[in-house]
């Protein structure tokens, strides 16, 4: 029987050194709280000294943040915090809505009965967790798992596109969690629409319901980013009420 390697324990009285994952989590939180400003350089030497870790740990953490889109790594220069704008986030969610709508449509058209039943079970669990006050981060994980199941019905190219856009929006999940923590209705009526459409194998209704889930999150994430101050465009996009399915369209200067 295979054995699991145990992580070495730090000597008594000494705190365990942060892992690359720990460091990435800390830096991610600092960026999202605007403690690290857009454009600010993250010097390896300073991070090694501040967190008491080696350069290999720092580099792995920075690569993880770069994968999330939070920082940009420039050859021979180092890493600096990305200057993501609300408009860029808005556009990413627009693409994500189209791809997730496609995934829901293909699940209706191509999914086996067993897959549809499994997805419905997950939706029911997620709705029950939301009603029971489970942490928003858990709800986000459950919703992504559901979309992963639906995405499995897409072609290999479609799956690659979905995974690519997921990587680019991964660092916004904390904003999405904040949106779900508000006292509003959340996107759950849209989830119920998707559930009913999957049962009926109604591809168009499932696709629209999935897009509406992402349009809701698009508006709420944009609201939160605007309220935080940084990463603004010259003119704020018109964000609709979260109780409607109408989408905001960022206004551009002429």
Domains (ranges, CATH) in the chain? 20-81 (1.10.10.10), 86-228 (1.20.120.530)
- The pLDDT of residue 182 is 64
CA 127 to chain centre: 19
Predicted TM-score (pTM) above 0.85 = no
Return mean pLDDT, the chain: 81
- The pLDDT of residue 170 is 63
pLDDT in tens, 70-103: 889 998 889 998 876 788 888 888 999 999 999 9
Considering only CA atoms, give the Rg of the chain: 20
Element (H, E) at 181: none
- The pLDDT of residue 194 is 98
| Segments of the chain with pLDDT less than 70 | 1-15, 32, 84, 170-175, 177-178, 182-184, 228-254
Using alpha carbons, select from 181, 184, 175, 191 the residue that is nearest to residue 133: 181
- The pLDDT of residue 175 is 64
- The pLDDT of residue 253 is 43
């Amino acid at each position: 029987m295979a054995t699991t390697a145990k992580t070495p324990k730090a000597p008594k009285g000494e705190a365990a050194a942060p892992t690359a994952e720990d460091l990435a989590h800390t830096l991610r939180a600092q960026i999202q709280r605007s403690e690290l400003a857009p454009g600010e350089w993250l010097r390896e030497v300073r991070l090694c000294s501040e967190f008491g870790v080696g350069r290999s740990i720092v580099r792995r953490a920075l690569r993880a943040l770069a994968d999330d889109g939070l920082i940009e790594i420039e050859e021979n220069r180092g890493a600096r915090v990305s200057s993501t704008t609300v408009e860029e986030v808005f556009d990413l969610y627009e693409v994500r809505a189209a791809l997730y709508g496609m995934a829901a449509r293909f699940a209706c058209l191509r999914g086996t009965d067993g897959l549809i039943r499994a997805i419905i079970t997950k939706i029911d669990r997620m709705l029950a967790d939301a009603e029971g006050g489970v942490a928003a981060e858990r709800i986000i994980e459950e919703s992504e798992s559901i979309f992963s199941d639906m995405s499995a019905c897409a072609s290999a190219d479609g799956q690659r596109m979905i995974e690519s856009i997921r990587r680019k929006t991964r660092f916004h999940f904390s904003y999405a969690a904040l949106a779900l923590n508000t006292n509003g209705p959340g996107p759950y009526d849209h989830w119920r629409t998707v559930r009913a459409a999957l049962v009926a194998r109604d591809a168009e209704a499932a696709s629209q319901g999935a897009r509406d889930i992402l349009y809701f999150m698009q508006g709420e994430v944009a609201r939160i980013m605007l309220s935080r101050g940084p990463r603004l465009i010259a003119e704020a996009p018109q964000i609709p009420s979260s109780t409607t399915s109408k989408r905001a369209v960022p206004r551009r200067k002429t």
